[in-house]
């Protein structure tokens, strides 16, 4: 099969592309070309890279031509310049659908967020929900995967927590009431994505994809600290403090340690969807535990934050 992946050079897109190619499929990687953390992905065997934004319908139509399915994984967790939630999540999804219709693509699989919902006061959550609704009404066979916290080699969570502990082993917990999380290994998510794309499973369904283990955010972060080999000091801090911190980090870091959207996400907890969802097939249910050994597989090279991590963000066209 030939499968197009929006956000193809991002964390999930890279892992999905490598798995599909390893299993004998061809992939078309679609991205703006700004993510250079893994330059080798653009020369992946049996792949083609297309530099395009998700709201460029003509470029997407050309990229989708000849593809059997589209994995729509493009997304942002902070707004930078013209890269807004409306443009990326809503307008981008509308263009992906229009291009898929023109190219006669057989299926769209949308990667969304577990707690995406309307009218909640969060641009991230609301735009993700709007994207889901567009896909449901597209007339194209679809699957919507609502994931929580995803971790693995090249992610933001393990990368930034590791660097933070190496820089200063002090961690402020979000709020005074601990929230629950179910960390999802990237390998488990890719398995569900591949089944939806290649085997055409889960057609017409909106399913949660969460890790098998439920634990507090504090325990999850402490496991990362142990895996990194650092003894960290933990203390609770008001949610308002984290919003102020996120605002400052979004302006001062290329990839912030925490974004405004992530503060909202962590303050709510990430184990329960706001609406009833379809059930994920038992054979596809994630089974990888958030163990120290599994965490270590996804850790970056040892070291703290560097000067280049703290360059101010420039406007992205």
Same domain, 110 and 126: yes
Residues 22 and 148 reside in one and the same domain? yes
Identity of the highest mean pLDDT range in 116-120, 246-250, 253-257, 310-314: 116-120
Residue 315 has what pLDDT? 38
In this prediction, residues 290-307 reach a mean pLDDT of 93
Structure tokens of 240?
């308002």
pTM score, whole prediction: 0.94
Check whether 16 has a pLDDT greater than 70.
yes
Same domain, 141 and 230: no
Q: Examine residue 71 and state whether it is found in any structural domain, yes or no.
A: yes
Q: Is residue 106 part of a domain?
A: yes
Residue 262 lies in a domain: yes
How many domains does the chain divide into? 2
Residue 317 has pLDDT above 80, yes or no: no
Residues 112 and 175 in one domain: no
In terms of domains, do 73 and 200 share one? yes
Report if residue 283 sits inside a domain: no
Residues 149, 164 within the same domain: no
Asked if residue 141 is part of any domain, the answer here is yes
Report the CATH number that the domain containing residue 196 is assigned in CATH: 3.40.50.720
Residue 316 pLDDT greater than 60, yes or no: no
Domain that holds residue 100: 2-153+182-209
> Rounded to 10 degrees, what is the CA torsion of 63, 66, 68, 70?
10
pLDDT digits (tens, 9 = 90+) for 107-124: 999 999 999 999 999 999
Is residue 125 situated within a structural domain?
A: yes
Residues 169 and 186 in one domain: no
Question: Are 117 and 229 in the same domain?
Answer: no
Whether 279 maps to a domain, the answer reads no
SS in 3 state form for the chain?
A: CEEEEECCCCHHHHHHHHHHHHCCCEEEEEECCCCCCCHHHHHCCCEEEEECCCCCHHHHHHHHCCCCEEEECCCCCCCECCECHHHHHHHHHHHHHHHHHHCCCCCEEEEEECCCCCCCCCHHHHHHHHHHHHHHCCCCCEEEEEECCEECCCCCHHHHHHHHHHHCCEEEEECCCCCEECCEEHHHHHHHHHHHHHCCCCCCEEEEECCCCCEEHHHHHHHHHHHHCCCCEEEEECHHHHHHHHHHHHHHCCCCCCCHHHHHHHHHCECCCCCCCCCCCHHHCCCCCCCHHHHHHCCCCCCCCCHHHHCCCCCCC
Q: What is the mean pLDDT of residues 76-85?
A: 92
> 3-7, 156-160, 296-300, 309-313 — which is least confidently predicted?
309-313
What band does 253 get if pLDDT is binned at 50, 70 and 90? confident
Whether residue 226 is found in the same domain as residue 137: no
- Do residues 237 and 118 both lie within one domain? no
Question: Mean pLDDT, to the nearest integer, of 28-44?
Answer: 83
Shared-domain flag, residues 125 and 171 = no
Band (pLDDT 50/70/90 cuts) for residue 313 is very low
Q: 112 and 64, same structural domain?
A: yes
pLDDT at 311: 58
């Amino acid at each position: 099969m030939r499968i197009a992946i929006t956000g193809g050079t991002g964390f999930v897109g890279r892992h999905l592309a490598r798995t599909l190619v390893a299993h004998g499929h061809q992939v078309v990687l679609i991205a703006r070309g700004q993510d250079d953390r893994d330059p080798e992905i653009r020369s992946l065997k049996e792949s083609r890279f297309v530099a395009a934004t998700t709201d460029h319908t003509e470029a997407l139509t050309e990229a989708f031509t000849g593809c059997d399915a589209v994995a729509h994984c493009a997304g942002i967790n902070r707004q930078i310049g013209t890269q807004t939630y409306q443009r990326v999540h809503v307008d981008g999804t509308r263009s992906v659908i229009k291009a898929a219709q023109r190219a006669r693509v057989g299926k769209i699989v949308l990667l969304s967020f577990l707690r995406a919902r309307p009218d909640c006061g969060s641009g991230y959550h609301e735009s993700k929900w709007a994207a889901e609704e567009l896909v449901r009404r597209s007339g194209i066979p679809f699957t919507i995967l609502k994931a929580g916290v995803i971790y693995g080699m090249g992610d933001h969570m393990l990368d930034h927590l590791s660097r933070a502990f190496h820089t200063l082993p002090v961690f402020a917990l979000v709020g005074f009431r601990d929230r629950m999380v179910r960390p999802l290994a990237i390998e488990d998510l890719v398995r569900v994505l591949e089944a939806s794309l290649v085997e055409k499973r889960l057609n017409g369904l909106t399913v949660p994809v969460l890790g098998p283990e439920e634990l507090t955010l504090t325990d999850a972060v402490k496991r990362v600290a142990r895996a990194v080999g650092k003894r960290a000091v933990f203390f609770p801090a008001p949610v308002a403090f984290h919003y102020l911190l996120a605002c400052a980090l979004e302006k001062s870091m290329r990839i912030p340690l925490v974004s405004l959207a992530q503060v909202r996400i962590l303050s709510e907890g990430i184990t329960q969807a706001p609406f009833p969802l379809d059930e994920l097939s038992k054979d596809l249910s994630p089974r990888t535990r958030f163990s120290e050994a599994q965490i270590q597989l996804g850790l970056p090279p040892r070291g703290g934050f560097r000067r280049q991590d703290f360059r101010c963000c420039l406007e992205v066209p």
